[in-house]
Amino acid sequence: MLLSKRHVAPRVLLIEDTEDTRELSRMALESQACDVAAVSSAEAALGLLLAGERFDLVFTDVCLGGLSGIEAAERIKAFQPSLPVLVTSGLDPADVTAQLRPGIHFLPKPYSMSELLDAIRACFGAVETDQAA
C-alpha cells in the first residue's frame, strides 16, 4: 500500500511495551508494506536512533514502562526534528494533546486500520509540507 509519494515502503519504529499489542501493531503495519522495527521500550528505541538506525516514522504508545511515549517523542524530536512521530493512547485525548508539542501527532485508541493509515499519511504530509516551505 502506498502511504506516501516519498515512502513506498516506510520504515517504522514501533514502541509498545505490551507484547500482544506490539505484535498486532507490527503485523498490521507490515500488512500495509511497512518495514517495522518493534521494541518494547522508549529506551530501546532511543538506542536504535542514537546508533544511527534510520526510520521514516516513529509510532509509540503513550503509556510505557520507564520513559513515557511523550517523553520519548520529545527526545526524538530534539535529536531528529524532521522525523515524524505519532503517539497513540486510550487516555483522554485532551489530556494527551495538551502535552504534545507541535510536530508530534496523536491517534486516539481504539482506532481502525483506516484511521491508522490516515494518521501515518498525515504525518508524512506534514513533513512534506515542512520540506516544501
Q: Which three cell numbers stand for residue 119?
A: 494518521
CATH class of domain segment(s) 11-132:
alpha beta
The DSSP call for residue 100 is P
- Domain segments of the chain: what residues? 11-132
- Look up the pTM and report it: 0.88
In angstroms, the CA 50 to CA 53 distance is 7
Question: Assign residue 52 a region: left if phi > 0, alpha if psi is -120 to 50, beta otherwise?
Answer: left
Per-residue pLDDT tens over the stretch 43-96: 999 999 999 999 999 999 999 989 999 999 999 999 999 999 999 998 999 999
- φ/ψ region of 76 (left if φ > 0, alpha if ψ in -120 to 50, else beta) reads alpha
What is the pairing mode between strands 35-39 and 85-89?
unpaired
Residue listed under C-alpha cell 502535552: 99
